[in-house]
Amino acid sequence: MEYMKVKGSILVISGPSGSGKTSLAREVCEELGNKAYFSISTTTRPKREGEEDGVDYFFVSKEEFLEDVEKGYFLEWAEVHGNFYGTSKRQIDKALKEGKIVFLDIDVQGHEAVRRAYPDVVTSVFVTTKDKETLIERLKKRGTETDETLKVRMINALHEMKKIPEYDYLLINDDFNKAKEFLRSCALASLIKTSKYNLENFIEHWKGK
C-alpha cells in the first residue's frame, strides 16, 4: 500500500503566552527523539534574555522577514502581538518525508493556514491554564512583560480562547507531568490519524479494475 503512505504528521500546539505550551512541546518533542522534529520559527520580535538565535527562533529584521515572504519561504506567517512570525516550509516538508511528527508551536492564525495547506496530516492541541488569574500570574513570574505588553497578551489570550472549537484537543496545563503525557498521546495519535491520507487513491485501488 505504498501509494497511501504519507510518512509523517503535523502536531500544532497553540495557546496563550504563559500557558506553558512551548516548554511542554519542546520537552515532549525531545523525549520522542528522532521520531519528532521541532520547527523553529522566524521572527522579528526582539530576543528575550536567555534566548538563542537558531534555537528558540531565527531572529531577523522586518526587512529580512518581508524578503523571505516575497521569496515564498514560509508555509504560513502572521503578525502576533505586533511582531511577525513565520514557519519555513522547506524544513517541514523534509521532516514529513522522513516520517517525523512535526511540532509547530504557532498561533491560531497559523493553525488555520497549516490546516488548509495539509488537511489530512494535521492534529492540533490548544493549551491553556485553568483560569485567567493563573495566566496573569505565570506571565508576571516570567518577568518578560511590561504592564503594556501584559495587557496586549491578555486581550489576545481571550481572542485565542474563542478558537478552541477549531482544535482537536484541549489541554489544561495544571500539572506539568500529566500535561506532558497528554501531549505525548496527541503526538503519537497524530501519526495514525494520517491513515486516512490519500483516501481517493485507496478507494480507487480497493475497487480494482
Site string for ligand 5GP, 14-43 (x = CB under 6 A): ---x-----------------------x--
The only residue of 87, 123, 190, 194 in contact with ligand 5GP, by rule CB under 6 A: 87
CB 57 within 8 A of CB 40: yes
Stretch that binds ligand 5GP, among 84-92, 125-133, 182-190, 198-206 (CB under 6 A): 84-92
By the rule CB under 6 A, 135 interacts with ligand 5GP = no
Nearest to 44 by CA among 54, 29, 57: 57
User: Which cell is 134 given?
Assistant: 493563573
By the rule CB under 6 A, 86 interacts with ligand 5GP = yes
Distance of closest approach, residue 87 Cβ to ligand 5GP, in angstroms: 4
Task: Give CA–CA dist 14/23, Å, rounded.
Answer: 12
User: Which cell is 186 given?
Assistant: 496527541
Cα–Cα distances (Å) from 62 to 4, 32, 57, 70, 84, in that order, read 41, 34, 14, 12, 8
Q: What 3-state DSSP class applies to 82?
A: coil
Distance of closest approach, residue 193 Cβ to ligand 5GP, in angstroms: 22
Q: Which is nearer to ligand 5GP, 85 or 167 (CB)?
A: 85
Where along the sequence are the contacts to ligand 5GP (CB under 6 A)?
Answer: 17, 41, 45, 76, 78, 80-81, 85-87, 105-107, 109-110
